[in-house]
Structure 1
Amino acid sequence: MDNTQPRQKKDFWGFPVTDFTYFFQWQIINGYLTLWMEQQGHLDGTTAGFVFSMMAFMSLIFQPIFGIISDRLVFKKNLLVIIAIASILIGPYFQWLFLPLVHINAALVAVVTGIFLSFVFNGGVAVVEQYVQRASLANKFEYAHSRMGGSLACACASFAGGKLFLWSPNSIFWACTVMGIILTLTITFSDKIHMENAAAAGDTSDSLDWSLIGQIFKIRNFWILSIFYIGTSALYDVFDQQFVIFFKTFFHTTAAATTAYSYTTTAQIALEFLLMFPMPWLINKIGSRNGLIAYGVILCIRIVGSALAPSAALVIILRLLAGFEMPLVLTSIMKYIAGAFGIRVYATVYALSSNFAKQISVFIFSTVAGNLYDSIGFQHTYFILGAIVAVATIIAALFLTKEDPVQAGEVAAKKE
C-alpha cells in the first residue's frame, strides 16, 4: 500500500498540466480574439460573429469524428498529440496568415480561421476532457481536481493576456504557441495511465454505436437536457464572445478597458478555481438536477443584469457571477448524466446533448447575435439572449427528470 500511493500521486500531476496548457490557450482565444479581430483585423461584429459560427459549424463535423476516433483509441494518444501540435501553429497563423487573408477576402478568413480554431478547440476540447476523465478512473483521482488546472490556467491567461495584448497584440497568439509546445511534451512524456486499472473507465467500445445512439434519441429526458444546453450553455458562449466590446463602452480608453477586463476576468476565474474543489460536496447536497437549474438562473441574471447595468462597477460584479457558473455546470452535468441515464451511455449523452446540440445553437446564434449587436446594440441583444436562457431554464425545472442519487454518487458521498 505504501508503494502504491506515491505512484498514483506522481501520475496525477501530468493531467492538471495538460488541462492548464490546453485551457490557457482556450481562454486566450475566447477572451481576446474578438478584441484582436476588431482592432488588428478590422472586422465588424457580423464578420467576427461569423468566425465563431464557423467554429461551431465545423465542430459539428469534428466532434462526432473525434468521438469515434477517441473511443477506438481509448488511452492511445495519437489524436491528442495531433491537436496539441496544431495548437503550436496558432502564433504563426495569426502573425503571418490572418491579415494577408483579410485583405483578400474577409469571408475567406472567417472560414479558414473557423476551421482551424474549431479543430483545436471546439472539437479538441472533448478529446482532452474525455481522455483526462478516463485517466481519472484508471489512476483513481478526482476529475474535478485535475480540471482545477484548467481553471487556474484561465485565470492566468486572463491576467497575462491583458498585459500581453497591451504590449503587443500578436503576442497573445505566440503565448498559445508556447503553451502548445508544453502541452505536446506533457502528453507525450508525462501523462501516464495505470493500465492495470483501465477497465475502471468502462467499456467504451460501443459508446457511439449507431443503435445505441438511436436508443438515446428515443429518450424524452435526453431532448429536455439538450434543449437546456442549447438555451443556456450555448448562450453562455455566445454572450461571452463579444462581451469585451460591450465592456469597453464603459471606459474612456481601450487601454483602461483592456486592463480592467483582464483583472475582472482573472478574478472571475480565480473564483471559479476556488469553487471547483468544494462544488462536488455542494452538488451532493442539493442534487445535480438542481445544480443545473441554479446554473441557468445565475446565467440569466448575469445576461439581463448586464443589459440593465448603469455602470462599469455593476458590470464587473455581474461578470464575477460567471465564477459560480462553470463549477456548477461541470460538476452537475457529470453527476446528472450518470444518475439520470447511467454510466454506460455517459459518453454518448454528453457528446450529443452537451457538445453536439450546443454547437448547433452556437453556430446559429453567433452570427445572429453578431448581426444584432451591429443593428440593435448590446443591451437589446442581451435582453433577447436572457429571455432564451430563462425559457430553457424553466423548461428544465418543469420537465427534467430527477436523477437517481445513488447512481449519481451523491448519496455515497454524503455518507462519507
Structure 2
Amino acid sequence: MSTQKTKLNDTLVLPNGSTLINRIGKSAMSESLADHYHNPTRELIYLYEKFAQGQTGLLITGNVMVDYKSLERARNIVFGEYSNHEKLKEWAQSSQQDGVQTWVQISHPGRQVAKHINNKPVAPSDIAAVQKLKAFANARALTTEEIANIKHKFIEAALTARNAGFQGVQFHAAHGYLLGQFLSPANNLRTDEWGGSIENRARLLIEIIRATREKVGPTFSIGIKINSSDFRRGGFTEEHSLETMILLDKESLDLIEISGGTYESSAMLEGNPKAGEKAFFVSFAERARQATKIPLMITGGFRHREQMEKTLESGNIDVIGLGRPVACDPFVSKKLLNGELQELKAPKIKVSKGLRGLGEAAWYTQQLYRHSKGQEAKENIAILPCLFKHFTSDFIRAKTRKVKK
C-alpha cells in the first residue's frame, strides 16, 4: 500500500536544522537489554534495527543511565567508564534507516532506584522512600559537589551519544527521576541555589542543556522530557511546568516531550481515549504552545489515526508519541503512514486494578523481549507470569552485574 500524504507524513525541520521524516516518535520504553557491563547486547541492537524498519521518524531509546550504582533497572545501558564504544556505534548504526533518527534518553533515577540495586539513593533533599511495594530506600540529600559531578556525567553522556553516531539526546526530567525531582517542590526542599524558586529548581536542567550544547555543537539535537504535572499533592503542577517551559524557551532545545506522573502517581498509564477524543496531555499542550516556540511531542493515549491527524492539524503539537503500540508492533508507524491502519486496538490484558501499572509495564516489557529475539508479539501472556519474570530477572541480573561501584 502506498504512503498517503497526510499530516502524519509531513516532515518536521527542528530548530537546529535537522529534519524528522514524519511526525511519529517512539517514546522511551525501558528495554533492560544490556549485558553484565551495561553495554548493548545483540538483542538490543536487533530490536532497534526492527524499530527503524518500521519507519517511525524519531526513535527515543529507553533509559540510558549516567551512574552505575543508580539505575532504573538492573540491566540498563550506562554511558560511563566501562562503555564499549564499538558496540554503541553498532547500536546507533542499526537504528538508522531511510532517514530515521535515534536519540538517546539520558537519565539518573535519584530516589527512584530499587533497594536491590542501591539501598542508599540520593535526591535533591533528605526525603522518605518512594512508596511502592516497599522496594525503595530513604534518600539523602546530594552535596553541592555531587550535583556538579552528576551534571558533568549528563554532559559527558550526551557527548558519548554524539560520538557513537546517534543524532540527538533527550534529557529525562519527567516521571519522578532526578531532574524531575529537582523541579518538584515535593522532592526539592533545598534552600541554596538549587532550590526554592522555579528558576533555582530548574537550574540543574538548564545548566546541563547549556553545557551540552557547547560540547556537542549546533547541529546535534537536544530534547527533554518533562511532566505536565506529577499528579501528587505538593508536587510539580501544570503552572510549574508552564513556568519551566518559559525558561526553557530561551535555551537551545529542539524538542520537548510532554508526559506526566511518577512511580507514586502513574496517571499516564490509565485509559484509552475513543475516536475523536483528545489523548492525554493534549489540553495542557495547548497551554504549553503559548509558553514556548520549541516543537512539542505528546505521548500517551493516541489510539486512532483520525485523532492523531486532528491533533497535528491544531498546530499546537508537532510530533505524536507512541510507546506501547510500538512495543506490540514495531511496524505500527509504517501502517499508520500508508493508511493500512486506522485504529490501534489495545490488547486485552486481564489485570486487577491494584496491579495495573506494574502489571501492564511487565507485560509490555515481555513483548519487547520477544521482538528482540525475532519473535512476534504474543497477546495471551498472563500478567502474573510477566510480573514474576520482571522482578525475578531484575533481582538475578542485579546479582550478576560486573559493575556495581
Larger relative contact order (CA 8 Å, sep ≥ 6): 1
Please identify which structure carries the higher helix content.
1
TM-score, structure 1 normalization: 0.25
Please identify which structure carries the higher strand content.
2
